[in-house]
Each structure stands twice: as structure tokens, then as C-alpha cells.
Chains A and B, each alone.
Chain A
Amino acid sequence: MTESDHTGLHADRVSRRADGGFVLDGVTVAPRPGETIGLLGPNGSGKSTLLRLLSGVLAPSTGAVTLDGLPLPRFGRRAVARRVATVQQNAHTQTELTIRDVVALGRIPHRRPWSPLSATDARAVAAALERTGLTDRADRFWHTLSGGERQRAQIARALAQEPSELLLDEPTNHLDIQYQLDLLELVTGLPVTTVIALHDLNLAAMYCDRLLVLRDGRAVAEGRPAEVLTPSLIGEVYGVRAEVTSDRGRPVIRFLRRAPEPADASDPSTRPASS
């Protein structure tokens, strides 16, 4: 192994047991610096658990998560938080916070007790707001924001942490398609290594450099989107039929109906009566 193999956040054959079974079983993920890795798989396949192991809030039962070659627990929580930022699913708060307050939370791992927000902190917050296009809305309150604005604010908070690694758990959930695209454009344009759990295969194909597909806690495929997203893999993992075409080197997935499609859709007599 060369030295460059050790930079960044790696999960090496990590497993996580819960209630007697494996939630995650021997999964390895090793993003190269700057690339975007998409985690795919049905609900309950272990995507969120893998992200929690990578962020260090859960410890693996076996295997190890390393940062620059050193096990994550060797860094303190604060040191990890200065390198690895996470955007969770469904962030909720009871507290009355403005967007600026939320983004400033990202400076916590950089601050010492008793010290107010420094000029460096203020600059990082301003830069994160600028990058996410929230500067003119910075004083709006969290509970008045739309789902897309909330996700954006959480990403700005993560950027204020000035991380080298960014972990996102299904950030496009419940967003209108316009905001889904905006958000992924934003995330993939960032100069950080990104691991992002997604449920939309086409978005994953469009935006990720590499994909890791999980099923029942095991990695079943890994590679560039065009290598991974084949009709047979989609059938095996999701249990659906799909047609895959290619657009500028990226796969485009079209799902097919369960029942064989009518031979001649224009002829009403061949349609099933119930539909």
C-alpha cells in the first residue's frame, strides 16, 4: 500500500450486530480524496448504519473505521468533528434558531469553552452561507423554512465545520425534484470527499463518481455507476425489472411494470379491465 491509500476516512470490513443479527456485515468503503460515493440499497439494508460507523457515533462490532490510517477512536470526538461532518435525515429542533445560528453550530468543534465566536468562526459561517446561497436568508427562523432550505442550512452547518469528509443520509428525501437536483449539484461541487446515501437510482447515476450497493447489510456491488447499475443487479437487489440505457456514459434507469406490458397499448381491448 502506498501512503495515499491511508488518507481520508475508510471503513475496513466493518460489521455491526444488533438484536442477534447483522445490521452490517463486513463492508469496506474507501473513498478517494475528493470523490463522491453513493450508498444504494433498499430500506434497512444498512446505509444509515454504515454512515453512523463512518461518523464515529456508533462503534463497529468488528472491523475498523480509520481516518488517515489511524482508528477513529484514537482521535477525540472534537478532533473527528473538525474533519468529518454529517448531515442526518430529518433534523428537528424545538429551539428558536435562525439559519445563521444553525450554521454557527458547525463551529462548535473549533471553539473552546468560555470563548465567544471568533473572527475566524464568523468568516467560516459567512463562507458556508455564501456557498449554499443562504446569505440573504440568514436571519430567517428555522421553523419558517421549507424542507429544501432546511437541508441547505444543514449542509451549510456541515461546511462551517470545514471538514475534509462529508457524510449525508438521504438528503433529498421529501424534496421537490428541483431542490433534489439543486442540492446534489451543490454537494458534488464541494471540494470534499463525500459519502451520500441515496434511494433514487437515477440521481445516484447522475451525480456519484462511484456507487456501493448494500443488501441486508452486505456489499453486493461496487464501482462506477455504469458498471454497477445493470438490469440484473437492480432485479437482484430491489426485486424489480428495469431497462438501463446510457446517456453520456451515465446509466439511465427506467423501471418496468410488474405485469407484462400489453402488446399493443393503443388497443383498448387488450388492456386489463381493472386498470
Chain B
Amino acid sequence: MSGARLALLVCGGLAALTASVAVAVTIGPADITTVDVWRSVSAHLGVGDTALNPLRDGIVWNLRMPRTLLAAVCGAGLALCGAVMQSLLRNPLADPFVLGVSSGASTGAVAVIVLGWGAGVLSLSAGAFVGALLSFGMVILLSHSLGATMDRVVLSGVAAMQLFSALTSFVVLTSADAETTRGVLFWLLGSLSGAGWADVALCSLVLVGVLVVCLAHTTTLDAFAFGEEAAANLGVRVGRARLVLLCATALLTAALVSAAGAIGFVGLVLPHAARALTGSGHARLLPVTALTGAVFLVWVDTVARTALDPQEIPVGVVTSLIGVPAFVAVLYRSRRQT
């Protein structure tokens, strides 16, 4: 019964995602068809030979494909992080961006570049992970000492986000070497332009790993519905579960931010949308959240790069335009439930 429904939802989601990627890649100033996409992809995967000219093949394989796939991975990852954080912190407004974790990751990544520890995806992600853990730790300590109510957690997140955003801006603007930095806007708002296959590979790897960890904890996350003590009374080792899951979400956030900057509100909005489809059981919620997040960000990025053609809007601007009204709606709804 419920297993079959989940299988249906996941298959439907995967089909929608594949179709979205295939179509999104064709949209843009260069005239590309889905047949071109198929030819290019099959040639690069070693099945069939390409009849495509190198320029069009380059646009598909080196520009649009990694960018679209990175959008899918970021959307899935951020939505997953949001769903886990919302359940663990019992806060419907929790999200890597709102809680300042993305900002901390940005600061960490920027610091790695400026201190000259290398600018490869791995060292960037490592720096971002440290930054994400620092900001997450700060938010948790601050909100715990304030009483950990919903609004205090969010206010602690605001404080962390402001602090780390300021640090990021400061470091980027004062660093002499503007060439190696990707600009303040990239780190604060997020952008998928300049995505490469290395980014896609690393982020996918981390996403799969974190997804497996989260799926192993679905009943644990269910147990948090009535709070930490209730979870402990249901046999959950609360301290350990919280540590594992918060570190996993920080790691995933870090990998995504070092590849695409701090894209906001995806993790806030998508879990609520997915809950409307699946109910609140995490065994169904987490995979469906990840899939809807992926489809969502593929289309949002397509809009961001084509709406004002040839000007490109940072994808984070578009997600914020969608996310802030959703934030207000969630806030409004939570008012009647407490």
C-alpha cells in the first residue's frame, strides 16, 4: 500500500526530473533541440557517435548540461537539508540559508581561496564545511541559551547570516586578487553559471551519501515530532542522532555552497510542498522532497538565465522572490498551530 505509493511517487519524480533536464538544456539563446541533447550525451557516454558540430556539442556538454545537473543536485540537496533541519529543530522555518549555515559555508570557502589553500572543489568544500559547522554551532548555542523557541532559532539564524555575510563581503572585497574570487554576489546570492563537471561530480557524491544517511534515520526523524524528550522516550539516542544529522546537512550544504554559492529558501519551501504530497512520514517525505527540489531548481535556473536574456539574474534572486512569500505563509500558518 504505502510502499507502492512511494514507488509511484519516486518513479514519477525521476521521470519528471529527466524530462525537465532534457527540456531545460534546450532552452536558451543557442538553438538546441532535444535530439541534439540526446546525440551529445550519448556520444559522451560512449554509445553512438556524434554528428553534432563541436560548437553545439560544447554548448550542450560543457555549458548547459553541467549547469542543469548542478541545479538539480543543488535543488535536491538544499530541499533535503531543509526537511531534515525542520524536523530535527521542530521549526517549520528552518533551512540552510535562513539559519545562516549557507553564509557560514560561503565564508569558509572564501577564506580558503584568500588564504591560498587552493581553489579546487575539494579544498573549497572543506573550508565551506568548517564555516558551515561554525555558523550552525553558533546558531544552536545562541538559540539554546535563549530558550530555543521557533522565533529565537530564526533570529539566531538571522544574526549568524548577517555576521557571516559581512565576513564574506569583507574578505572578498579586501582580497587583492579579484581573479580568483567569484565576486560578492556569487557567494551571497548564489549562481549556477560557471558550473563544471567537477562540481557536479562532487556535489552528487555528497548528495548520495547524505541521502543514504538521512534515509537510514527516517523513523528517528519521525520520533522528533513531539520533541527531544519524546524522541528519547521512543528509544532514540537523541544526542547522537542530532550530531549525525546536523553534521550531514552541514556537509551537504558546504558542498553545494562551494559549487553554487548561497542559494536561499529552496530548503524552506520545498519540504512544505512535498509534505502536501506525502504527509509527514519521513520515509516518503525525504525522497519526494529531494526530487521536487531538483525539478524546482532546474526550472528556476532556466528562468534565471533566460528571462532577461542576455542579462542573467543570479538564481538566488529568483529563489528569494519565491521563497520570501512562502516564508511569510509558513509563519502565518504556524501562528494558529501553537
Tell me how far the C-beta of A102 lies from the nearest C-beta in chain B, rounded to whole angstroms.
Answer: 8
Task: Please state if A97 and B233 are interface contacts (CB–CB under 8 Å).
Answer: no
Residues of chain A with a CB closer than 8 A to B229's CB = 52, 57, 88
Task: Please state if B234 and A106 are interface contacts (CB–CB under 8 Å).
Answer: yes
Task: Please state if A92 and B227 are interface contacts (CB–CB under 8 Å).
Answer: yes
A57 to B280 alpha-carbon distance, docked (Å): 26
Contact pick for B280, options A56, A97, A143, CB 8 Å? A97
Residues of chain B with a CB closer than 8 A to A80's CB = 235
Residues of chain B with a CB closer than 8 A to A106's CB = 234
B58 close to A (CB within 8 Å): no
Task: Please state if B338 and A109 are interface contacts (CB–CB under 8 Å).
Answer: no
Residues of chain A with a CB closer than 8 A to B237's CB = 77
Task: State which size class the interface on A falls in.
Answer: 35 or more
On whether A92 and B338 interact (CB within 8 A), knowing A77-B236, A116-B2, the answer reads: yes
Residues of chain A with a CB closer than 8 A to B2's CB = 116-117
Tell me how far the C-beta of B218 lies from the nearest C-beta in chain A, rounded to whole angstroms.
Answer: 7
On whether A105 and B338 interact (CB within 8 A), knowing A57-B233, A77-B235, A116-B283, the answer reads: no
Contact pick for A101, options B91, B234, B280, B337, CB 8 Å? B280
- Closest residue of chain B to A109 (Cβ to Cβ) is B235
A95 to B90 alpha-carbon distance, docked (Å): 8
Task: Please state if A95 and B280 are interface contacts (CB–CB under 8 Å).
Answer: yes
Residues of chain B with a CB closer than 8 A to A76's CB = 235
Residues of chain A with a CB closer than 8 A to B217's CB = 113
Task: Please state if A108 and B227 are interface contacts (CB–CB under 8 Å).
Answer: no
Residues of chain B with a CB closer than 8 A to A82's CB = 235
A55 close to B (CB within 8 Å): yes
Tell me how far the C-beta of A130 lies from the nearest C-beta in chain B, rounded to whole angstroms.
Answer: 20
On whether A94 and B91 interact (CB within 8 A), knowing A108-B219, A111-B219, A113-B216, the answer reads: yes
Residues of chain B with a CB closer than 8 A to A105's CB = 222-223, 225-226, 234
Residues of chain B with a CB closer than 8 A to A92's CB = 226-227, 338
- Closest residue of chain B to A111 (Cβ to Cβ) is B219
- Kindly name the residue among A111, A116, A143, A161 whose own CB sees the greatest number of chain B CB atoms within 10 A: A116
A9 close to B (CB within 8 Å): no
A161 to B227 alpha-carbon distance, docked (Å): 17
Task: State which size class the interface on B falls in.
Answer: 20 to 34
Task: Please state if B232 and A57 are interface contacts (CB–CB under 8 Å).
Answer: yes
Binary contact readout A109-148 vs B (1 if CB under 8 angstroms, 0 otherwise):
1010110110000000000000000000000000100000
Residues of chain A with a CB closer than 8 A to B334's CB = 94
Tell me how far the C-beta of B168 lies from the nearest C-beta in chain A, rounded to whole angstroms.
Answer: 31
B116 close to A (CB within 8 Å): no
- Kindly name the residue among B226, B229, B280 whose own CB sees the greatest number of chain A CB atoms within 10 A: B226
- Closest residue of chain A to B234 (Cβ to Cβ) is A108
A86 to B223 alpha-carbon distance, docked (Å): 13
Contact pick for A114, options B87, B216, B223, B230, CB 8 Å? B216
Tell me how far the C-beta of B332 lies from the nearest C-beta in chain A, rounded to whole angstroms.
Answer: 14
A85 close to B (CB within 8 Å): yes
A265 close to B (CB within 8 Å): no
Residues of chain A with a CB closer than 8 A to B222's CB = 105, 108
Residues of chain A with a CB closer than 8 A to B3's CB = 116
A57 to B234 alpha-carbon distance, docked (Å): 10
A34 to B3 alpha-carbon distance, docked (Å): 39
A-contacting residues, B258-287, CB 8 Å: 275, 279-281, 283
Residues of chain A with a CB closer than 8 A to B190's CB = none
Task: Please state if A143 and B337 are interface contacts (CB–CB under 8 Å).
Answer: yes
10 contacts between A and B (CB under 8 A): A78-B235, A81-B235, A88-B233, A94-B337, A94-B338, A97-B225, A101-B279, A113-B218, A114-B216, A116-B2
Q: Which 10 A/B pairs are nearest by Cβ-Cβ distance?
A: A81-B235, A109-B235, A78-B235, A86-B233, A57-B232, A108-B234, A95-B225, A95-B280, A77-B235, A93-B225
Not counting A92-B227, A109-B234, A114-B216, a sample of 20 additional A-B residue pairs whose C-beta atoms are within 8 angstroms of each other reads A76-B235, A77-B235, A81-B233, A93-B90, A93-B225, A93-B226, A94-B91, A94-B92, A102-B225, A105-B225, A108-B220, A108-B234, A108-B235, A113-B218, A114-B215, A116-B3, A116-B283, A117-B2, A143-B337, A161-B234
On A, residues with C-beta under 8 Å from B are: 52, 55-57, 76-82, 84-86, 88, 91-97, 101-102, 105-106, 108-109, 111, 113-114, 116-117, 143, 161
On B, residues with C-beta under 8 Å from A are: 2-3, 87, 90-92, 150, 215-220, 222-223, 225-227, 229-230, 232-237, 275, 279-281, 283, 334, 337-338
